[in-house]
Homo-oligomer: A and B are copies of this chain.
Amino acid sequence: MTAVTPDLDRLAIDTIRTLSIDGVQAANSGHPGAPMGAAPMAYVVWTRFLRHAPTHPDWPGRDRFVLSAGHASMLLYSLLHLTGYDVSLDDLRSFRQWGSRTPGHPESGLTPGVEATTGPLGQGLANAVGLAIAERRLSHEFEHLVDHRTFVIVSDGDLQEGIASEAASLAGHLRLGKLIVLYDDNGIQLDGPTAMAWSEDVPKRFDAYGWQTQRVPDGNDIDAIEASIEAALHDDRPSLIAVRTHIGYGSPNKQDSQKAHGAPLGPDEVRLTKEAYGWDPDRTFYVPADALAVFREAVPEGERLFEEWNERLATFADGHVDLAEEFLRRVAGELRPGWDAGLKTYETGTEVATRNASQDAIQALAGSVPELFGGAADLSESNLTDVKGEANFSAEAPGRNLRFGVREHAMGGIANGIAYHGGFIPYDATFLTFSDYMRGAVRLSALAGLHVIHVWTHDSVGLGEDGPTHQPVEHYAALRAIPNLWFVRPGDANETAAAWAMAVERRGGPVALALTRQKLPTLPGTDTKAREGVRRGGYVLRDASGGATPGLILIATGSELQLAVAAADALEGDGIPTRVVSLPCWETFDAEDQAYRDEVLPPAVRKRVSIEIGVSLGWERWVGDEGAIVGLDHFGASAPAGTIFEHFGFTPDRVADVGRRVVREGLHGRIPTVDGGHFAAMAGGHPTTPEGDPGVDRTGSSDPGHS
């Protein structure tokens, strides 16, 4: 292999390489090989194509660069430092150390110039597809004010992931021509040569997706890389450039081996490698002045681009003052005044599935919150997420309704990418059960603090006949477990409108809405109480009658809230003063102060029953040692919804019965389902006691007390 670069280019490229090597070595942890191999392609992108402004890293007009191969983070940090971002040599020296801005994998929001949190493979490519979709839509909405490209570097591992396949297939379908993907084709993954597990023809596969594909046989040939990027920019399809590289390039003993992948080269090999580059082996974190000068041209060039953009915006504003202001509002992430005025209030008793109330909310918000932009994974007719009267986003026209296809994981990654872009509040949609398919992306929306709304309908066994493969049971708990995700399960139409309002208002993290397929009655009191109550996560929907101190609190979410209300009638009839608490969002309730929480759940009222048709895990937090949990600790069943609720014991009578026994007999702990169908037997560690017996005491007490 011949390095064909002139000396200064080579010096600059080797500066990226040596900084990356030194960063990993100093941390004694990390991935040196990929930066060493991919440095030339990154150099070409960053010095010859990328329109960015290191001193204005949030400039909305900038090109986006996503390092999908996040393990090559030192490559990105080196470039950020070299091109003049607020990333110092000391930051590079503290790679992977506590409190540094250079964590093991890039984290958006932590480090200026990092466009996406990457590392979990495949996500970055999906994010990039989202960035390109956002660009096209925003450009359409604002008369080409926005016009940028999205560059990505992906690894073998990225392209093996299903999420990458899904995202690439959609990108090809949508002809996202401004998306340029450089594939670091180094033939090595963690376990060894890629050929151990992978023998597909990657460009052919992308060709099948409708991409332009090119190959660069020598990853050090920067002119060939440049020419291929030029060609990519002149093609209206998304482009994949497979660049044949050498992992650990230049390392005498580790090049082209997995030994260069996930561990430092070691002090000796670092010296040998630097010598091979013609560098002083004794110097670390060394940046030759000539090389720095090449990179730092990005600063004045960025200033120029930024000024040019501002002038363009000013000119644009001359002709479209409202549109320009609207643009600035959008990218600032502020809501229009009165954005929520159209949200409906539903009359008590009206029967509405919460997915339909969600559809109403989307429709009501569509005009006043034009930044709402999303769609479903081939379930728009079930999730009811289309904005009526708007076109599909397609290759021909960037309409407002996204059609993700049956590609949940990419959908999540793309929604994240749209959020990274700015100017939008993206939403995505599927059945709640299939949140599992996109969980990798959901986690990252929470970790990166992205404002994404996940619309997950068919939120329980209440979906009925489709059966246990489609019925979420464990998902409420599993999603509540994710830090910084708000999981909201509204109990009727008014709570759904309120949930949409809180979802739109949130900043700094994702919101998941769990919505019913089946109709629910609009409950007394939600018309006035839901808006504030849902935002706070929990509230007293109905108190014990006549101002009595409650002897029992029923706590419910979603479709089970109606059971609590109906059971409260029966219990009050029995002389048990009963409060009903709606608890649609644990996370925001938990964030309220102690005084409010005590107001809703008075510490003195220890007799409590929770009702939620999902696993009991976590409910002890709210019901305490003397409370009972009416949950569902096994999988569902295929049958009409009403039949399932009946068999599992989710009826007002049953809830009232449990409530009575909690108060009068000291029943507490998890209450088994009445007839669990064929899955009850494999409840696996969630033992069910015979109907009529006291529940299981989770703290080990075999002596149920009395109130």
Contacts and interface: CB of A to CB of B under 8 A. Distances in A.
Given A173-B198, A447-B679, A597-B700, 9 more contacts: A98-B647, A117-B469, A157-B406, A162-B407, A165-B166, A486-B685, A587-B685, A591-B684, A594-B702
A316 interface: no
Contacts of A285: none
Copies in the complex: 2
Contact of A639 (B97, B197, B600): B97
A444 B469 contact: yes
Interface stretch (A10-18, A429-437, A492-500, A570-578): A429-437
B617 A481 contact: yes
Interface in A580-625: 585-591, 594, 597-598, 600-603, 606, 615, 617-618, 620-625
8 contacts: A105-B469, A173-B197, A173-B200, A189-B405, A483-B635, A484-B684, A601-B700, A617-B618
Contacts of A696: 590, 594
Contacts of A699: 601, 603, 606, 621-625
Nearest to A684: B484
Nearest to A194: B405
Nearest to A410: B162
Interface stretch (A220-228, A300-308, A375-383): A375-383
A589 B685 contact: yes
A481 B477 contact: yes
Contact of A478 (B70, B110, B117, B478): B478
A433 to B, nearest CB: 7
A423 interface: no
A2 interface: no
Interface stretch (A118-126, A129-137, A328-336): A118-126
Contacts of A537: 685
A696 B593 CA distance: 10
A71 to B, nearest CB: 8
Contacts of A585: 685
Contacts of A600: 700
A119 B700 contact: no
Interface string A617-652: 110111111000000011101111001100100000
Nearest to A615: B481
4 closest A-B pairs (Cβ-Cβ)?
Answer: A162-B162, A587-B685, A103-B638, A197-B405
A128 B286 CA distance: 54
Contacts of A392: 196
Contact of A405 (B160, B405, B407): B160
Contact of A433 (B96, B120, B481): B120
A191 B379 CA distance: 6
B433 A477 contact: no
A682 B483 contact: yes
A405 B637 contact: no
Interface stretch (A205-213, A268-276, A343-351): A205-213
A687 interface: yes
Contact of A509 (B404, B508, B684): B684
A89 interface: no
Interface stretch (A143-151, A249-257, A360-368, A460-468): A460-468
Interface centre among A169, A444, A621 (most CB of B within 10 A): A621
A30 interface: yes
Interface residues of A, number: 152
A551 interface: no
Nearest to A588: B685
A485 to B, nearest CB: 7
Contacts of A618: 477, 617-618, 620
A698 interface: yes
A281 interface: no
A24 to B, nearest CB: 10
Nearest to A105: B469
Interface in A404-449: 404-410, 433-434, 436-437, 439-440, 443-444, 446-447, 449
B468 A447 contact: yes
B687 A638 contact: no
B98 A191 contact: no
Contacts of A621: 617, 620, 698-699
B205 A678 contact: no
Given A589-B685, A635-B483, A98 B469 contact: no
A314 interface: no
A21 interface: no
A529 interface: no
A163 interface: yes
Contacts of A480: 617
Contacts of A291: none
B484 A683 contact: yes
A170 interface: yes
A653 interface: no
A598 B440 contact: no
A482 interface: yes
A615 B199 CA distance: 40
A379 B197 CA distance: 12
A47 interface: no
A513 to B, nearest CB: 16
Nearest to A121: B406
Given A440-B436, A603-B701, A685-B591, A166 B160 contact: yes
A29 interface: yes
